[in-house]
Amino acid sequence: MHLHDSIIVKELNSTRPELEVSRDELVLSCCREALECESAGDYEAARGFLADYWAGVGERPKLDGLGDEAKAELLLRAGALSGKIGRAEQIKGSQEMAKDLISFGSRIFDEIGIAEKVAEAQLELAICYWREGARDEARDTLKLAVDRNPEVESEQRLKSLVTLGIIESSASRFHEALRIYGDVAPLLSRNKNHLLRGSFHNQYALAYKNLGKLERRFEYIDRAFIEFSAAAYHFEQSGNIRYLALVETNLGSLFLAAKKPLEAHQHLNRARALLVKLRDKGIIAQVDETRALAFLAQGLYSQAETTVRGAVRTSEQGDEKLVLAEALITHGSALAGLERFERAYGQLTRAIQVATEADLKEKAGLAALTIVENLSSYVAPTRLREYFRDAESKLGPSPDPDTEERLGKSARKILAMFDSNSEESRSFDQTDSALELDDAIAAEASETAETVGHLEGEVLRYERELIQRALESVGGSVTRAARLLGITHQGLAFILNGRHQSLLAARTPIRRRRKSIFRPQ
């Protein structure tokens, strides 16, 4: 019998000296102790409580002779710990193993009618899906758990809603995440679970931070600082050092977004020190990737490359494709800064592959955009243009302002390459000619102006030619044509409606926003 078991047996016998402790009761007691350690972030201690019944990640628990409830509880705890330990130690395939155990336990709980435990199992299952990048499956699983639990202030229901907000944020649906958290906030104010409240404030802060960056809402950034502070307080009260390190990591990312790399390093170094003690390789890799971004912001390419190289190696061992894709993009950027272009290209194209396979369109788009920005001297112009178009399509019509600015600069870079008079630019086929806004138009305009003598009219004609070619090259999209021309969407729309109405037929039809039938007009 394991030491933990003998202690629990003595405690149970001291309270019930007249009865013999059953194996089911012992297993359930060990599972409760394991859950407490798990909630405190001490996964090793949690595994220790289950040592006599479960050998560790990749192994099935010993279920012989157990009743249904004890079987289900042991399966759930072994599955949840498999997912958490697998992430911390970057064990390949651990999330799939965890899902199998949790699903088995959930079915048994459902059969014996313990709805609260079914909800707990569904929550753990959704988290495993999310770690693998399967957001739709995670979302559907959480919504099912919420729908099956009508008790508004049930702790499992609140946990499911907080986790649902995480899924929506990871899909860049920040308004939806804020809506969910706004609904949960008054209910959590009466809850005494510091770990749950800390998780809520941490995720609330991330949603505010990301939406503040997207919409340039600085009051949201301030709110994020407040929410992170609240999260740190509750994690300290819960004793969960692992999650406290996550808050430090998020604060480092927030300072980095505010273009304060020195302050970012302070928080990231604190986070790393905490995580090294816990030997959590998975989160350390995320911290190091953020540290590398801070080094890049300082122009310290060598330090950035050394730091993120380890993060890539660690992430390759686990199941989290999002973390690996981000690390590969950062590594590619650092290598490009060191002018190691071949290696940089390899890492960035691999990032596209990893992100595409995991259906992470935005990350694939950012990797393609990074190639255009950093490897124009290494990649052929025609290939660069393909990467730009891929980035533009994957990042969608409304990327965040920083990404929009990056797209605009990249578009003008490619346009300048096709505008040159080199032999290379002349070798492109006729389908590419719409992008070649070369000196021939200007020369023709100048000659005609000398003949006709109407400079203003020739400038308008030249402008019309440029806009027409830009519209043709992007299939009539005003937004994309404006990006090629280096002006705003509104500016190009104004020119079309005012000076060049004959080109309106060349643009794609304007899509009117539908008015809500519920909201008062």
Other CB atoms within 10 Å distance of the CB of residue 223? 18
Please name the residues in contact with 230: beta carbons below 8 A apart, sequence gap of 6 or more. Answer: 197, 198, 201
pLDDT of res. 152: 78
Are the CB atoms for 471 and 506 separated by under 8 Å?
A: yes
CA neighbor of 28 nearest in space, from 79, 81, 64, 67:
67
- Residues with Cβ within 8 Å of residue 136, at least 6 apart in sequence: none
Residue 452 in this model has a pLDDT that exceeds 80: no
Question: What count of residues does the chain have?
Answer: 521
Residue 14 has pLDDT above 60, yes or no: no
Q: What's the CA gap between 99 and 334, in Å, rounded?
A: 36
Task: Tell whether the model's pLDDT for residue 430 goes beyond 60.
Answer: no
State residue 462's pLDDT score. Answer: 60
What was the pLDDT predicted at 444?
A: 46
Superfamily of domain 177-279: Tetratricopeptide repeat domain (1.25.40.10)
Determine the average pLDDT of the residues in 460-487: 73
pLDDT at 415: 82
* Tokens found for residue 420: 């040159």
* Secondary structure (3-state) at 84: helix
Q: Residues 6 or more apart from 349 whose CB is under 8 A from it?
A: 367, 371
Q: What is the pLDDT of residues 76-105, one digit of tens each?
A: 999 999 999 998 888 989 999 999 999 999
Q: Is the pLDDT of residue 6 over 80?
A: no
| pLDDT (tens digit per residue) in 404-422 | 889 989 988 888 887 653 4
| pTM of the full structure | 0.68
Fold designation for 1-150: 1.25.40
pLDDT in tens, 302-339: 999 999 999 999 999 888 899 999 999 999 999 999 99
The confidence score (pLDDT) of residue 456 equals: 55
Looking at beta carbons, which pairs linking 59-63 to residues 24 or more positions away fall under 8 Å? 60/101, 61/101
Give the per-residue pLDDT at 10. 43
CA angle 186, 187, 189 (to 5 degrees): 65
Across the chain, what does the average pLDDT equal?
83
- For 189, the 3-state DSSP assignment is coil
Confidence band of 356 (pLDDT split at 50, 70, 90): very high
Question: Which pLDDT does position 19 carry in this prediction?
Answer: 45
Cα torsion 163, 169, 170, 171: sign: positive
Helix (H, G, I), strand (E, B) or coil at 230: helix
Residue 120: Cβ within 10 Å count: 25
Token output for 394: 């994957």
Query: Do residues 270 and 248 touch, judged by C-beta distance below 8 A?
Result: yes
Largest CA distance in the chain: 114
- Tell me the one-letter amino acid at 21: V
Tokens of residue 317, six digits:
């061992």
Six-digit token string for 369: 């955009």
pLDDT value for 386: 94
Query: Please, are residues 307 and 285 in contact by the beta-carbon 8 Å criterion?
Result: no
Which residues, other chains included, contact 275 with Cβ-Cβ below 8 Å and sequence gap of 6+?
242, 245, 283, 284, 287
pLDDT tops 80 at residue 46: yes
- What pLDDT shows up at residue 343? 96
- What is residue 335's predicted lDDT score, i.e. its pLDDT? 97
- The more confident residue out of 432 and 331 is 331
**Does 8 have pLDDT greater than 60?**
no
Owner of token pair 């986070």: 271
The number of beta carbons lying within 10 Å of the beta carbon of residue 58 is 11
Environment class of 512 (CB within 10 Å of its CB; exposed 0-12, middle 13-18, buried 19+): exposed
pLDDT exceeds cutoff 70 at 454? no
Q: Is the separation of the CB atoms in 208 and 223 below 8 Å? A: yes
Give the list of residues 6+ apart from residue 424 with CB closer than 8 angstroms, or none.
381
**Cβ atoms 383, 361 nearer than 8 A:** no
Whether the per-residue pLDDT at 518 is higher than 60: the answer is: no
Under a CB-based contact definition with an 8 Å cutoff, are residues 111 and 141 in contact? no
Mean pLDDT value of segment 169-192:
89
How many whole angstroms separate alpha carbon 445 and alpha carbon 503? 19
Mean pLDDT computed over 433-439: 39
Listed by start position, the domains of the chain span: 1-150, 177-279, 293-399, 433-506
Q: Tell me the per-residue pLDDT of 223-277, one tens digit each, with 9 for 90 and over.
A: 999 999 999 999 999 989 999 999 999 999 999 988 899 999 999 999 999 999 8
Residues 361-418 pLDDT 10s: 999 999 999 999 999 999 999 999 999 999 999 998 777 888 888 998 998 888 888 7
Alpha carbons 291 and 267: distance in angstroms, whole number: 10
177-279 matches 1-150 in CATH topology? yes
Q: Cα(68)–Cα(81) distance, rounded to whole angstroms?
A: 20
8 Å CB contact between 82 and 97: yes
Select from 133, 135, 118, 139 the least CA-distant residue to 75.
118
Tokens of 507: 């643009």
Q: Which residue carries 């104010």 as its tokens?
A: 189
